[in-house]
Structure 1
């Protein structure tokens, strides 16, 4: 459906609001965002910006959704371009998350850092974009499982507590997965550890001189997480 000139103008303004909000995240941080400052940079009086964004929380939500979607787009593109099978897709996903986080530390902090005081992201707007990466990771593992190329651990599997079985079943139903509980548990750990490794680097938790080759260190982590998830090199390639 063709948009009216007014709708097009509004869409352009909203794009500018998000662009300015991104810039202010870098200079002011999420807690310091101000609609008055956004209005100033937009070139309108402060009251006019409320026609587009009703309050600071609305601006934060726009930035959260924008960040999740840009990260999701980067991951989807990297996985689609990966050649070599399920392990290559996992590696591509992991390195895309790291690359985006390093390139966009302020936006990464908004998504995965300390919660903004007084702000609670609305689930109906942020859950879909916010689960794109874990959804993509789950599909890689599930596709490998369906193809018979998801390895089990060498050591006996730790039993999944009965208290978690209904949660895992709900995750499988929601995402349309087939992987058993033990494999799903390993996938959740790989997901949490991947973002933990990226967060340590983005937020400077390693210090300034502990590891000289951060990319090499991350590569080691990705190799270990792939093995943990069941994507060992000998069984996860597409033949």
Structure 2
């Protein structure tokens, strides 16, 4: 935490810049973000804001990190209050992602929507916050597997040497003891979850296609858990 008045003032200014950036993201879109507009709303001359944020790309990175952490915090809080059941927690995580995305469509769009032209998020700043939900999901898959809640597929896939190396690296990085087939299904679950949420947030279904999208999402979760290997009451 900042300990000097100058450090506290700088931290508050950075907080205000991110807050104003979020507001402009919601009203104008990521591609139209402008440091001049942020400076105007901050009440300073445009040159002053560059002492805190050097470019539009740096502002975008701040907003990306802020968005990932906001989503991660929502998921962590929901899981902290959930019963100790990995399948139930997978459902809660998925519902939390959807709820946050529908409440924050502009921030969700920045993270998982169309890339901003000319912007490439720096991995060293965005990787850790950007993988929080994925790591939480993979950990729940591992707990479900270790609790014998997931069925082994009849045909266990055979991997090429390069892909097997990738999977071994994932196990090592995340400290997970899970088989290759569960990594494949886990990645499929993750990609399908965010695909379903994106289809809802960005209205890819069409306005009148489904009467109850919340019910549809629950049925999609059932299908994804079945794909994962979960068989209730078996």
Normalised by the shorter chain, which TM-score bucket? over 0.9
Q: Does 2:37 match 1:57?
A: no
What is the rounded CA distance, in whole Å, between the counterparts of 2:131 and 2:231 in structure 1? 25
User: Which structure 1 residue ranges, 5 or more long, are not aligned?
Assistant: none
2:123 alignment partner in structure 1: 123
User: Which structure ranks higher in relative contact order (CA pairs < 8 Å, sequence separation ≥ 6)?
Assistant: 1
Q: Does 2:99 match 1:99?
A: yes
Q: Does 2:99 match 1:83?
A: no
Using the TM superposition, give the Cα deviation of residue 2 of structure 1 relative to its aligned residue in structure 2, in angstroms. 5.8
> Structure 2 matches for 1:18-57, cutoff 5 A?
18-57=18-57
Distance 1:234-1:163 versus aligned 2 partners, 3 A rule: farther
What is the rounded CA distance, in whole Å, between the counterparts of 1:53 and 1:90 in structure 2? 38
Distance 1:84-1:174 versus aligned 2 partners, 3 A rule: closer
> Structure 2 matches for 1:135-154, cutoff 5 A?
135-153=135-153
What is the rounded CA distance, in whole Å, between the counterparts of 2:145 and 2:96 in structure 1? 23
Distance 1:165-1:213 versus aligned 2 partners, 3 A rule: same
1:159 alignment partner in structure 2: 158
What is the rounded CA distance, in whole Å, between the counterparts of 1:171 and 1:40 in structure 2? 45
Using the TM superposition, give the Cα deviation of residue 32 of structure 1 relative to its aligned residue in structure 2, in angstroms. 0.2
User: Which structure 2 residue ranges, 5 or more long, are not aligned?
Assistant: none
Q: Does 2:10 match 1:13?
A: no
1:127-153 Cα distance to aligned partner (Å, 9 max, x none): 000000100001001122233333223
1:112 alignment partner in structure 2: 112
Moved more, 75-84 or 109-118: 75-84
> Structure 2 matches for 1:212-223, cutoff 5 A?
212-223=211-222
2:210 alignment partner in structure 1: 211
1:201 alignment partner in structure 2: 200
What is the rounded CA distance, in whole Å, between the counterparts of 2:93 and 2:41 in structure 1? 35
What is the rounded CA distance, in whole Å, between the counterparts of 1:40 and 1:89 in structure 2? 44
Preserved contact between residue 87 and residue 232 of structure 1 (Cα < 8 Å): no
Preserved contact between residue 160 and residue 182 of structure 1 (Cα < 8 Å): no
* TM-score (structure 1 length as normaliser): 0.94
1:166-188 Cα distance to aligned partner (Å, 9 max, x none): 11111111111111001110000
1:180 alignment partner in structure 2: 179
1:202-238 Cα distance to aligned partner (Å, 9 max, x none): 1110001000100000000111111212333336xxx
Q: What SS class does the counterpart of residue 172 from structure 1 fall into?
A: helix
Preserved contact between residue 67 and residue 107 of structure 2 (Cα < 8 Å): yes
What is the rounded CA distance, in whole Å, between the counterparts of 1:161 and 1:203 in structure 2? 36
* TM-score (structure 2 length as normaliser): 0.96
What is the rounded CA distance, in whole Å, between the counterparts of 1:106 and 1:100 in structure 2? 11
Preserved contact between residue 87 and residue 233 of structure 1 (Cα < 8 Å): no
What is the rounded CA distance, in whole Å, between the counterparts of 1:200 and 1:93 in structure 2? 18
Displacement over 6 Å in runs of 4+: none
